Structure formats: C-alpha cells, structure tokens
Amino acid sequence: MAKISPFKAIRPTRDKIHLVATRPYYTYKDNVLKAKLEDNPFTFLHIINPEFGEKQKTELNSKERFALVSDAYHDFMDRAILKQDELPHIYMYRQTKDGNEYIGVIAGASVNEYKSDKIKKHEATITSREEMFTNYLNIVGYNAEPVLLSYSDIENQIEPILYNKTKERPENEYMTTDMIKHEMWIFTENEANAVIHAFEQLDATYICDGHHRCASSAGLKDWREGKGFNHFPNEDNFLAFFLNERRLTILEFNRLVKTMNGLTKEQLIDKLETSFTIETLFIGEKPSKEHEITMFVEESWYKLTCKDSIIDHNHPVKCLDAEILTNFVLEPILGISDLKTNKKIDFISGNQELNSLSSTMEKGGFKIGFFLYPVEISDIKRVADNQMTMPPKSTWVEPKLRSGSTIYNINE
C-alpha cells in the first residue's frame, strides 16, 4: 500500500501567492536573485536568504543561519503573508508548461514507508548533505518544497478523481513569468477519503526528485527519537507531490569535460572505436535512441553507437548509457573516475538548447561534450526495485515545483 496523509497546509494568502511562491534560489542568476529580493517584499526568497543586504553574514549552513531562516518564516506568519489551514486536507495541484499538464496530489508521505522501501529510491545520498538537511529541518520546522513521487495507476482509480476535480474553480490560479501556469484545489473530506483509499491499492511509489529531502525527514525522526524528545505526529510524514508516472517528463543530464587527457582528437576517436561505431555528423544533434551518444569536440560532431559487447542488458545499471559512458570513456580514456567530486566534469540538463553549446564550452573551459538519450521511467523503477542506484546526474525530471506555495509544518 501507499499511505498518504492529510495535513494543515501553511499557504500564502490568495492575493499574494504569485508573489510568494518561488523557484529554488540556486536556479536564479545572481543579478536576477538580487532584483527579486530588492523588488518583491513577499517572495519566499526572503525566508531562504534572511541576511540579504546585511554586511555581516553568518556561516553558510550553520545553526545561526538556519535560526535566521526560522525567524524570517515566523515573521511572514506574524504578518499574515502565510496562514495555516484550520483543518487537515489533501490538495490537488496542476502545473501546465509547454503543453504538458502535470496534475497530481499534494499530501504527507510516510517516513516509515520510506524506511521500509515502499517509497523506492534510485539515487545514493551523501551523508554530509543528509546531516545538513536534518539539522535544517530540526531548526526551521517545515518542508517548503514537496518531494516528487511517482506512482502507476494501473487500475485507473486516481485519474478520474483528479479529472472531476478540475471541473471546479481552483482555490489558487496564477501564471509565473517563466510562462508556467499553477493551479491548486482542496479536496472535500469524501474526495480525500477516496484518494487515500485509491493510494492504498498501490504497491509502491518512486522518488523522482528529492532523495536528500526524504532521507533528512527520516533522519530527523530517528535523531529526535534517539534524543528522547517529545514526538510530533507530523514527524511521521514529509511533504510530497504524487504524480502519475505517465505524466512525468524525464530528460537527460549531459556531460561536459574539461580534459582530453593528453590526447589529440584523432587519438581520442581511435580509442573510442574499440567500444563504439563512430559516424561523423554534419550538424549538432542529440541521440535519437538508447545506446547512442553524440559527442562534440573541436567544433565537430560525432555519433557514437554502443557495440553490443559493452552493453550488459541483464544488469539494471550497467545497461544505462550514463554508466556505459563512465565505464568505457570517462574513466579509462579521459581519467575521470568519481563524477561526484571530479572538477574536470560538469553536467547540463537536457532542457538546454544545443545552439548555445559552443559558447558554454568556451566560457567554462570544456573540451568535449557528451549527449545522452533520456532514460525511461521503467529504467528508474528497474534500478529502484533491485535496490541499486543510478549514476550521478542521470535524470532531469519535470515538473519542478515551487517553494513556499504549500508548506508542511513538522512541529505539530
């Protein structure tokens, strides 16, 4: 079963939600972030960046910084920019972007189901980041951005409920400057019970975005129990957006490399021919199918088609193009072994256009670009079901959700 729980959301008032809700701060260029903080007193960015404009700043990710975040959050509450619903609800959210409609359920996801692997993982977390996020949650006391969990509605029990709800006027409806439309509805008690029952029929859900947020919520509960602190019921859950896997958009993460490892282009291609069939391309293009990789080097494009001998079709991870690229190119030929820490490699999401690639590579000092074909949700599930992990930066998943539109209070 998949357990979802209603909660009393803390939400911006209807007249200010378009001003409060924000993309994560790290997605903004510095000048844009500065302008938003200067011009919009209601943006949630003021909570995340409580020392904006101050000359003296606390250390990044310190308890002192987190305490200031908490103070800024409570200031928004005191000024009634944010208000908490009187009763617990389950919410429905729809994001419309580029013709894609992402419609799903916002609710509490079970920490215990995460720990028992009914909420399935495909990405390894970094212990230091887990600990940092756990410390953050303990001090600020809320989740402001939902984890993205996918599900398979094989019996088609959930979709009809969502579709019927869209016939009503949404509680909130607004458009953001990135041309994305956001809508939210509140389920009635009967509707919520039907949704809860439908989710109970599911075998599992899958993390698509937010592995560290899930891990830190579980870590917070364990840490507080270990300290013997008073238990808050909301610690048993964390904020999640549940989306039918058919509605996901899964793009690739591409690799940019700063080294030729002492090789000329001709020597590089000669080494690649051991594992790939190589074809010269006249224009830049992304791969058209699985086990094709396109390469950009010295203003020239090449298509690398994996030879069958390097594809382990029976292994959930070794058959993935990102893993093949690491095992047969990045590590043995270019000397890049640890993608998480190596300074000679960077990643660009698949939603970025190729026409800006040349200038991006020149500015960043990159020598080679490798472009991959996106994985399918079946690949993610196969890895997760076998309790394995995908290579770092394997997927760019949409929708990307905004912070501050639906907040989950842990400490109640």
Residue 407 identity: I
**CB atoms closer than 10 angstroms to residue 251:** 16
Tally helices (H) and strands (E) across the chain.
13, 20
Tell me the pairing of strands 147-151 and 91-97: unpaired
Distances from the Cα of 383 to the Cα of 108, 178, 229, angstroms? 25, 33, 36
Q: What is the pTM of this model?
A: 0.95
Q: Which of helix, strand or coil describes residue 48? A: helix
Structure tokens at 341: 């820490």
Helices (H), 182-325: 189-200, 211-227, 265-272, 321-325
Residue 99 identity: G
Going along the chain from its start, the domains and CATH numbers come out as 4-249+399-409 (3.90.1530.10), 250-396 (3.30.1760.10)
What is the enclosing helix (H) or strand (E) of 160? helix 158-165
179: exposed, middle or buried (C-beta count within 10 Å: 0-12, 13-18, 19+)? exposed
Respond yes or no on whether the N-terminal peptide bond of residue 399 is cis (omega within 30° of 0). yes
Q: What is the pLDDT along the chain (412 residues), one digit of tens a residue?
A: 899 999 999 999 999 999 999 998 888 888 999 999 999 999 999 999 999 888 889 999 999 999 999 999 999 999 999 999 999 999 999 999 999 999 999 999 999 999 999 999 999 888 999 999 999 999 999 999 999 999 999 888 999 999 999 999 999 999 999 999 999 999 999 999 999 999 999 999 999 999 999 999 999 999 999 999 989 999 999 999 999 999 999 999 999 999 999 999 999 999 999 999 999 999 999 999 999 999 999 999 999 999 999 999 999 999 999 999 999 999 999 999 888 889 999 999 998 888 888 888 889 999 999 999 999 999 999 999 999 999 999 999 999 999 999 999 999 9
Residue 60 identity: L
CA angle 230, 236, 242 (to 5 degrees): 155
Q: Which of helix, strand or coil describes residue 62? A: coil
Residues linked to residue 409 through DSSP beta bridges, in sequence order:
142
What pLDDT is stored for residue 155 in this prediction?
A: 83
Q: Which of helix, strand or coil describes residue 376? A: coil
Whole-number Å distance between alpha carbons of 335 and 342: 10
What is the enclosing helix (H) or strand (E) of 243? strand 237-244
Greatest Cα-to-Cα distance within the chain, rounded to the nearest angstrom: 68
Residues linked to residue 173 through DSSP beta bridges, in sequence order:
183
